[in-house]
């Protein structure tokens, strides 16, 4: 079998960041492929198929870039599918009864003390 290695760079665009449900969706989708999948943020690497904890530990925020790396025969197909999750914002929907009013979400305090 040909061992293919593919990489893609994605940007986290949903306002809530790469949260638990997003990580779970990612993992469930990654597991449908045979390829080994890793998510890289700066110098941190996370196994994309083991547990969502690996992915949420990256602490990826809106605007952060992540590198997706897949190794295996279906590496390209796996990344095509996984990139789509980021493009569609993980099918993000605000919970109706807690929906925020207006278009401007409250400011994220970026100064992490």
Partner 1 sequence: MKFADFVSREAIRAELVAKDKEGVIRELVQAWLDTGSIEADEQESIIKAILKREELGSTGIGRGVAVPHTKHPSVDRLVGTVAISSDGVDFNSLDGEKVQLLFLLISPPDRPGDHLRALENISRQLRDDTFCRFLKQAKSVEDIQQLLDEADNNQFVS
Q: Which residues bind partner 1 (CB under 8 A)?
A: 15-21, 24-25, 27-28, 50-59, 61, 95, 98, 100, 105-106, 108-109, 112
Residue 83 C-beta: closest distance to partner 1, Å? 21
d(CA 6, CA 22): 22
Say if residue 88 is exposed, middle or buried (CB neighbours under 10 Å; 0-12, 13-18, 19+): exposed
Residues paired with 9 in a beta bridge: 67
Which residue number, 2 or 112, has a Cβ lying nearer to partner 1? 112
Residue 3 C-beta: closest distance to partner 1, Å? 27
Kind plus residue range of the DSSP H or E element containing 40: strand 36-41
Which residue number, 56 or 77, has a Cβ lying nearer to partner 1? 56
Residue 79 C-beta: closest distance to partner 1, Å? 22
């Amino acid at each position: 079998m040909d061992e293919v290695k593919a990489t893609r760079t994605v940007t986290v665009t949903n306002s809530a960041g790469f949260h638990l449900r997003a990580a779970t969706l990612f993992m469930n989708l990654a597991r449908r492929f045979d390829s080994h999948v890793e998510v890289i943020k700066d110098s941190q690497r996370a196994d994309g198929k083991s547990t969502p904890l690996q992915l949420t530990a990256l602490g990826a925020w809106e605007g952060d870039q992540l590198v997706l790396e897949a190794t295996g025969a279906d590496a390209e197909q796996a990344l095509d599918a996984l990139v789509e999750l980021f493009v569609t914002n993980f099918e993000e929907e605000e919970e109706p009864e807690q929906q925020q009013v207006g278009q401007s979400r409250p400011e994220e305090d970026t100064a992490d003390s």
